[in-house]
Amino acid sequence: MTESAPKKTLSSTPPADDITAVLVLADGTVFWGYGFGREGDTVGEVCFNTSITGYQEILTDPSYAGQIITFTFPHIGNVGTNHEDHETTTPAARGLVIRDEITEPANYRAEGGLAAWAEKMGLVGIAGLDTRKLTRHIRNNGAPTGVIAYNKDGVFDIPALLKQAQDWPGLEGMDLAKDVTCAQTYDWTTTRWQAETGYGTLENPKAHVVAVDYGAKNNILRCLAETGARVTVVPATASFDEIMAHKPDGIFLSNGPGDPAATGEYALPVINKLIHTGLPIFGICLGHQLLALAFGGKTYKMHQGHRGANHPVKDLRTGKVEITSMNHGFSVEADSLPDGVEVSHISLFDQTVCGIECTDRPIFSVQQHPEASPGPQDSFYLFDQFMDMIQKHKTAA
């Protein structure tokens, strides 16, 4: 008879008197630190992002719904925050983890500091822990569920926080698009930001695009407008008839959070009908995954996902390699795609599918975020490719 291993004892006593926050993972791993933002606790999937710029854009990306973001770059908060860099009105992320405590902002565009902004936005943050150790933990074991607790008094019930982390169901099987989509239809005409003039306004539209909002980033809509598209944004639950009532020249399927198979329960019947209209269709991120599912493909939960602004993607059609921004925890199974749907792009990190296209219809999608924000601009051409498809379709009609 063998003896069972002793149970791990979790101490609720911080290792130092000035500790004000703790991160507790579902496996019992505990990281102590210093809280900022909203006081209280938050639970979600703990992931990491390797970008060295654009933390405000990352935190306001709706695709991070249900997630706590660990920034691997240590100097987060150094350029402050401003009202122009939001990717949506209210952040959907659950919280953030950073290495160094936040310093005063040093940037001409700053309107305030990150800590005050996080508190205003309701985000719970923790600083001062070893983010390299945490990132290695995620890389080796997969993205865990975790709880950040911030208490200025330094009092924590670690067993209760551990149970909270263990009881959270996780992102697999979770439809989060319904939580971040727009409440009603609206028009979008703002174009991309320019250093000299700021954001512009579309004046002479060339085509009309209906964008289905599963959690769309503002900069995606700006990039569509930059190509000359007048954009009508509709909720994720919009019906086929509601979409077609706008008389679109093209359909855009946006990025978004959660499990594509769960969102697909209501999205796929609509997308299937849109495919058969013959209209040009372009999907990004969740929109890419939903398009693959609509064609009969399959998706799966990744070990740790791809999140950062330095991901190399190869265009199999040209051999060109693009450095891209990514943010996804699910991926398309290459072998599940039917005849007539080809893989157009792959990740050079792990050869996962990063793009598909139809051989007989003007339909394509990509896993990466070509609008960047933050990140490189190598993939901006995809928006022009979409507009070219629309113009050709209009000419042929």
Catalytic residues: 285, 369, 371
Tokens of 103: 């310093």
Give SS3 for 161. Answer: helix
- What are the backbone angles phi and psi of residue 273, rounded to the nearest 5°? -70, -40
Give SS3 for 56. Answer: helix
Using CA atoms, how far apart are residues 343 and 357, in angstroms rounded to an integer? 7
In this structure, are residues 55 and 77 in contact, taking their beta carbons and an 8 Å threshold?
Answer: yes
Tokens of 26: 């579902």
In this structure, are residues 217 and 261 in contact, taking their beta carbons and an 8 Å threshold?
Answer: no
Before 374, cis peptide (omega within 30)? yes
Q: Taking the CA atoms of the chain, what radius of gyration do you get in angstroms?
A: 22
Using CA atoms, how far apart are residues 35 and 146, in angstroms rounded to an integer? 15
- What is the number of other CB atoms lying within 10 angstroms of the CB of residue 210? 24
Residue 397's identity, in one-letter code, is: A
Using CA atoms, how far apart are residues 19 and 216, in angstroms rounded to an integer? 37
The distance in angstroms from the start CA to the end CA of the chain is 78
On the CB side of 327, CA atoms within 13 Å amount to 35
Residues 6+ apart with CB under 8 A from 162: 10, 24, 26, 28, 147
Using CA atoms, how far apart are residues 230 and 186, in angstroms rounded to an integer? 11
64: left (phi over 0), alpha (psi -120 to 50) or beta: alpha
> Residue holding tokens 């982390």?
165
